[in-house]
Amino acid sequence: MAEVRFKAAIFDMDGLVLDSERAVLDCWDIVAQRHGLEDIQTFAYSVIGRNVTDTNRMFEERYGTEPGALAIRAEKREIFWERFEQGLIPLKPYSIELFQKMKELGMKIALASSSSREDVVYEMEVLGARPYFDAIICGDQVTRSKPDPEIFLKAASMLGAEPSECIGLEDSFNGIRACKAAGLYTVMVPDILQPDDEMKQLSDVIVKSLADVAELL
């Protein structure tokens, strides 16, 4: 077996493995129009990479408690799942091929997603990616949301690896901040948000797509 640069890989999901971010933004737009919520795109961008608790808190700080974050997010969730069940939210190109390559190299793989575990496991099972993950840790399994590094540190521990032995892959600003703070080799694969000066400084490398990641291994 070829020499492996990293013992393990830790992936974000939304916008990196799952092509979901644009659909999420569209769902926010729909509920905003229904309820007269202004500048929803600014809010939606600000919560990319954050867990449900943080998203709800930030929503109510911005828009108040009527109709309330839980009610709005329930509507958004219903619209999103309609699209998912219609096959409109696929895996990102080259994701399965990259997982296979990492397994051939003997690497362990974890998913560290801010979404709920129930949703993440279901989505990965439906799309055929679940068997590649040795561990899945989600936003409702940690105390602190990204950009805090907790989720990446726990994922590394679950894989039996030191953070310095892991490559971390993210698309969001909050995810990159968390990944770097955890001490992983930090790779940004931009989706909606293109890297600014902070992201360029925090990322060890920025690549155009998952297809480019194999060269780093």
- What was the pLDDT predicted at 141? 95
Contact 146, 184 (CB under 8 A): no
pLDDT, tens digit, 9 for 90 and up, residues 111-170:
999 999 999 999 999 999 999 999 999 999 999 999 999 999 999 999 999 999 999 999
- What was the pLDDT predicted at 56? 87
Report d(CA 34, CA 137) in Å as an integer.
33
pLDDT, tens digit, 9 for 90 and up, residues 183-199:
999 999 999 989 999 99
Q: What are the strands of the beta sheet with 166-170, ordered from one edge?
A: 135-138, 108-113, 8-11, 166-170, 185-188, 205-206
Catalytically annotated residue among 12, 54, 119, 148: 12
- What was the pLDDT predicted at 27? 95
Largest distance between two CA atoms of the chain:
58
pLDDT, tens digit, 9 for 90 and up, residues 9-46:
999 999 999 999 999 999 999 999 998 989 999 999 99
- Strands (E) across 61-183 are located at 108-113, 135-138, 166-170
Contacts of 128 (CB under 8 A, 6+ apart): 91, 96
- What was the pLDDT predicted at 73? 81
- Asked if residue 67 has a cis previous peptide bond (ω within 30° of 0), the answer is yes
pLDDT, tens digit, 9 for 90 and up, residues 45-54:
999 999 988 9
Nearest to 26 by CA among 88, 68, 87: 88
- What was the pLDDT predicted at 1? 40
pLDDT confidence band for 175 (50 / 70 / 90): very high
- What was the pLDDT predicted at 74? 87
Q: Give the distance, in angstroms, between the CA of residue 115 and the centroid of all CA atoms in the same chain.
A: 8
Active site annotation includes 12 = yes
- What was the pLDDT predicted at 3? 60
| Burial of 87 from C-beta contacts in 10 A (0-12 / 13-18 / 19+) | exposed
pTM: 0.92
Contact 164, 7 (CB under 8 A): no
The count of residues in the chain is 217
DSSP state of 18: B
Active site annotation includes 14 = yes
DSSP state of 92: P
